[in-house]
Structure 1
Amino acid sequence: ALRHFDEFYAGVFGEQWPSVRLALLCPNKPCALLNPFLAEAGAVWQQLRARGALSMRGLCVRRAQAFAGTVDQEAPSSLELAEPLPEAAEGAGVAEEGSFFDESSRYMPGGGASSSLLSFVPSSRMVFQEEQVDEESYRGFYRPDSQLRLPLKQWLPEGEDTPFPGRLDAALFGTGDISTFPAPRRTGAHRLLDYYLMDGASLLPVLALDLQKGDDVADLCAAPGGKLLATLFSGLAGSAVACDSSPSRVQRLRECLRSYLPEKQLRGVSVLQRDLLRPGSLTQHSFDKILLDVPCTNDRLSVAEDDNNWFSHRRLQERLALPQRQVSLLCRGLSMLRPGGSLVYSTCSLSPVQNDGVVHMALQELWQKSGSAQYAIVDLSAAFAALPFRFFEGCRYGQLALPFLPQNVGPLYVARIERIQ
């Protein structure tokens, strides 16, 4: 895995790669997702604060207030925007827009030189363990269509100027603090666990959802359950459907939910074993908000563990086919959105192919089938600005939290797509 990363990512991240590489090889930094269903939640918070932990929600509020005088709210999106489009020719296949969108908010993939996906092309091939595989085997699925037009929407959280929804909060040790959390403990009358430990950046997809009271939510690749728990801990979801294709992972997910949720909350969650790509799977369902944390190369795990490693020789063809599987899952998830609903696509990979590349190809495929822009990209950069993480500036559709030793989370890529028709 590390040999592959040095060959590919050094060209993507440039001078940042040595820092990212070092952080990948060091233990990641977890956060503690507090269980709000415990009567003892206040006491748990006091214990964590006594250890030096900070409230991520409170930290975001303070950072947002500090930035308030320096951030230009009228500044253009940090995503790479093209020049405003000329008027579309009759029959060009671009959807007519309502008053919300103007031509200056159009995003044109394929223009500009800053995109890491388009600007970095290995000389002729990439190294996969002992084999040299033609670069097109991995990236050949990426066939950009210059006619694709995508609306771009800005998102600024309301209220406290923080993207944390409802009552959701998590504890995190400060920048440079490598303290660790003790293992979660069962407490209270229902013997529920007091918090859930996960990578600090794993909250980003839930924050990006912009949960609203009563939303019908789906987590389509839900196991092991951390992101689903965060969604439920917010107290905003009206109903939740969680599914995974693996029987063992579904069983693990059920055990996780039983360890954190009271019986009343459990009754509001449907846990299903489903392969989203199998015909007829979940065809009767539609949702306001969807989490799609797709199978990916899991870069941090790949450099740390050899067992069933994505970069082993026997999994070569499976890995080369992974981006197309991700595209299929994303297209399937987007088809289940209600108009006005949002899907958050995420990976724990640094690969621009699995991140921006998959988002582009899925939206291109749907655009070619419909002949109109049914989906919009939502720019998350302003909403995430107050988070204490380092983000890569070269993404075109989403945000990528980079491993960085003083705050060693991720990698975590997240992109939000809204259905507008």
Structure 2
Amino acid sequence: MIRCITAASELCSGCGQGWSQLARRWKSKRADHWAKLRKKQTGTALALKHFDHFYPEKYGPRWRSIRLALLCQSKPTALVNHYSNVAETTAKLTSCGSFDLTAEWREQISRRQGRLSSLASSADPASLPADADSSDGTADETSAADPAEARARAEAAGQLRLVQPTQEESAALHDYVPATQLHGDEDWLEEGDYFQYGQEDGSLKVALDRDSPISIPDTLRVFSFPAGEISRFPFPSTSSTGVRDYYPLDGASLLPVLALDVQPGDEVLDLCAAPGGKSLAILQTLYPALLVCNDTQGGRVKRLQQVLLDYLPAAEHWPGQVSVTKQDGQRLEARDRYDKVLVDAPCFSDRHSLLEDDNNIFAISRSRERIQIPLLQTNLLRRALEAVRPGGTVVYSTCTLSPIQNDGVVHMALKQIWEDTDIQVVVKDMEDSMKPFYGTMWFARGVGIKYGQQVLPSVVNNFGPMYFAKIVRLK
């Protein structure tokens, strides 16, 4: 003790300069310590830690390549604005070395339809399932001993195995189970303790019906660079018509819009529309009589409004009606109102969370908000199913790989609708309708996805992640 005091006295000699140096040194070390600690706690670092913990169990060995792709910028595509000078815009994009991706998709769809038609014309009617010619379109569960074989025959014959409600049966979803598949009995991967009620109890049986082929309107055009190429498009410019010439977006973002299958005269709601890319894609079809673009935060609504002002002509030149609303989708009061509803829900936004600390959902200050995301998504999807008319379509989409926020949310929303309302729905199986896109995008297969389709990031064609599920309301 005496030695310490003596040493301190010696250190204090010279007007206390020794103590000042010691204090500065200690302060500098403390600042370095906290700087390193803060660096470890950034949103991007926490996101990577979270994904590395949960996703390998779901995606297995594929996670390594998915992870690498997620840590890179997504591959750009250019959505041509129909209200710009289209010839001028396409020439500009072609000169960059890109090609019309939608034209390639249309060709693949046409080829596939030709093959199916050829199979159907050469199929032996005696080999078709007994219910193939059923006048009411219902499926008899005993029509084939092997459901997989029955499915293959029905596909070859071009038959859609629709599961329609009957007046005598109740509104319970398990009354409308198709012969081919029954979804709802398997356990899914739980992503953590924060979504306790998202556990499957086996009480819900969901009808699954094969979707019809995808149709791409001629006015919808998207350009992309060839596989493996990492070129970027120039910044969008104002065309000779006074509006921006193209909108940059991830190519996988177009798939939920195509799944929505907007038809002429449809009234459409984009429930979580900002920043506006999917709304613009819907408008490029020239089909909707009404498009309501909604979001809940003031900043996002302003951004959405600016995008529409940049890309749409004056109102008198627009064949339909476009409106922007600001309301909480969880409190949507519309009932039986729209033909189509798109729910591009807030989510982990995996790629943004790994690349940008700005507005990162994994920031420590947003922990409570992040934990509540699945509940928010479930509420949004439920409101959408109530807002769509019988016969209408709801597409739910996210840009995350999270199984709870994808299949988990779809299951919970369907469970609530089943238990609390008399609404009847059917989930569309889009596996066949997505096959023309397999050459462009990497779809998740063999990972237990039950209700939707999922595009996985790939270093070859770095689109996604994008999950989307299609639900049609029957009653």
Query: Which residue of the partner structure matches residue 183 of structure 1?
Result: 235
Conserved? CA contact 1:106–1:150, under 8 Å:
no
Structure 2, unmatched stretches of 5+, are 1-46, 121-150, 156-167
* CA 1:390–1:214: 2 relative to 1, 3 Å: same
Instruction: Name the residue aligned to 2:70.
Output: 24
Query: Is this contact kept in 1: 2:273–2:293, CA < 8 A?
Result: yes
SS at structure 2 position matched to 1:208: helix
Q: What is the CA distance between 1:67 and its match in structure 2?
A: 4.9
Q: Report how far residue 150 of structure 1 moved.
A: 1.7
Q: Does 1:420 align with 2:471?
A: no
Residue matched to 2:360: 309
CA contact (8 A) 1:165 1:207 kept: no
- Partner Cα separation in structure 2 for residue 62 and residue 20 of structure 1: 28
* Paired position in structure 1 for 2:10: none
**In terms of mean alpha carbon deviation, does 261-270 or 195-204 score higher?**
261-270
Tell me what 1:75 maps to. 152
Supply the distance in 2 between the matched residues of 1:107 and 1:217 (Cα, whole angstroms).
Answer: 30
Matched residue type, 1:349? T
The residue aligned with 1:53 is 98
Residue 216 of structure 1 deviates from its aligned partner by 0.4
Please say if residues 239 and 269 of structure 1, whose CA atoms lie closer than 8 Å, have aligned partners that are also in contact.
yes
> Do structure 1's residue 139 and structure 2's residue 195 form an aligned pair?
yes
The equivalent of 1:385 in structure 2 is: 435
- Pair 1:401 & 2:455 matched: yes
Q: Check if 1:153 corresponds to 2:209.
A: yes
Q: CA deviation at 1:355?
A: 0.3
SS at match of 2:353: helix
Contact preservation (8 Å) 1:292, 1:343 = yes
C-alpha displacement at 1:328, in angstroms? 0.7
1:25-70 Cα distance to aligned partner (Å, 9 max, x none): 01111110001122x2012112212222121221113334555687
Establish whether residue 8 from structure 1 lines up as the match of residue 60 from structure 2: no
Deviation at 1:5, TM superposition (A): 0.4
Aligned twin of 1:274:
327
Give the AA of the match of 1:46: A
Aligned-residue RMSD, C-alpha: 2.6
The alpha carbon displacement at 1:410 in A equals 0.9
Q: Per the alignment, in what secondary structure is the counterpart of residue 277 of structure 1? A: helix
Structure 1 position 333 matched with structure 2 position 384? yes
Aligned residues of 2:173 and 2:425 also touching (Cα < 8 A): no
Query: Whole-Å Cα distance in 2 between the matches of residues 5 and 208 of structure 1?
Result: 28
User: Normalising by the residue count of structure 2, what TM-score does the alignment of the two structures yield?
Assistant: 0.75
Instruction: Compute the TM-score of the two structures, normalised by the length of structure 1.
Output: 0.84
Q: Which amino acid aligns with 1:403?
A: P
Deviations 1:156-191 (A, max 9, x none): 32xxxx5323521111112111111111110124x1
Which amino acid is 1:60 matched to? Answer: W
1:165–1:210 contact (8 Å) kept in structure 2: no
CA separation of 1:195 and 1:317: change in aligned 2, threshold 3 A: same
CA distance in 2, matches of 1:308, 1:35: 29
Higher strand share: 1
Partner Cα separation in structure 1 for residue 170 and residue 391 of structure 2: 25
Whether the aligned pair in 1 keeps the contact of 2:289 and 2:319 (CA below 8 Å) is: no
Q: Which amino acid aligns with 1:57?
A: T
Classify the secondary structure of the residue corresponding to 2:108. helix
Using the TM superposition, give the Cα deviation of residue 106 of structure 1 relative to its aligned residue in structure 2, in angstroms.
Answer: 5.4
1:356–1:396: 8 Å Cα contact kept in structure 2?
yes
From 172, 181, 194, give the equivalent of 1:94.
172
Evaluate the alpha carbon distance shift between residue 145 and residue 121 of structure 1 in structure 2; reply closer, same or farther with a 3 A threshold. closer
- The alpha-carbon deviation at position 356 of structure 1 amounts to 0.3
Distance in 2, matches of 1:242 and 1:92, equals: 35
Identity of aligned residues (%): 39
Return closer, same or farther for 1:200/1:215 CA change in 2, 3 Å cut-off.
Answer: same
How many residue pairs are counted as aligned between the two chains?
380
Contact 1:377 1:397 in 2 (8 A): yes
Asked if 1:110 corresponds to 2:173, the answer is no
Match for residue 252 of structure 2?
A: 201
* Alpha-carbon contact 2:244-2:310 (below 8 Å) kept: yes
The corresponding residue for 1:250 is 301
Aligned residue in 2 for 1:375: 425
Supply the distance in 1 between the matched residues of 2:386 and 2:174 (Cα, whole angstroms): 20
AA aligned to 1:348 is C
Tell me the residue number matched to 2:342: 291
Verify: 1:212 aligned to 2:268, yes or no.
Answer: no
Q: For residues 414 and 183 of structure 1, do their structure 2 counterparts lie closer, same or farther at Cα, with a shift above 3 Å needed?
A: same
Instruction: Please give the alpha-carbon distance, in whole angstroms, between the structure 2 residues aligned to 1:362 and 1:335.
Output: 11
Residues of 2 paired with 1:68 and 1:283: CA distance? 38
Residues 1:418 and 1:285: Cα distance change in structure 2 (over 3 Å): closer
TM-superposed CA distance for 1:268, in Å, is 1.1
Matching residue's letter, 2:297: S
Give the distance between the partners of 1:77 and 1:119, measured in 2 at CA. 29
State the shift of 1:389 in Å.
Answer: 0.5
Q: For residues 13 and 243 of structure 1, do their structure 2 counterparts lie closer, same or farther at Cα, with a shift above 3 Å needed?
A: same
Task: Check the 8 A contact 1:163/1:383 in 2, yes or no.
Answer: no
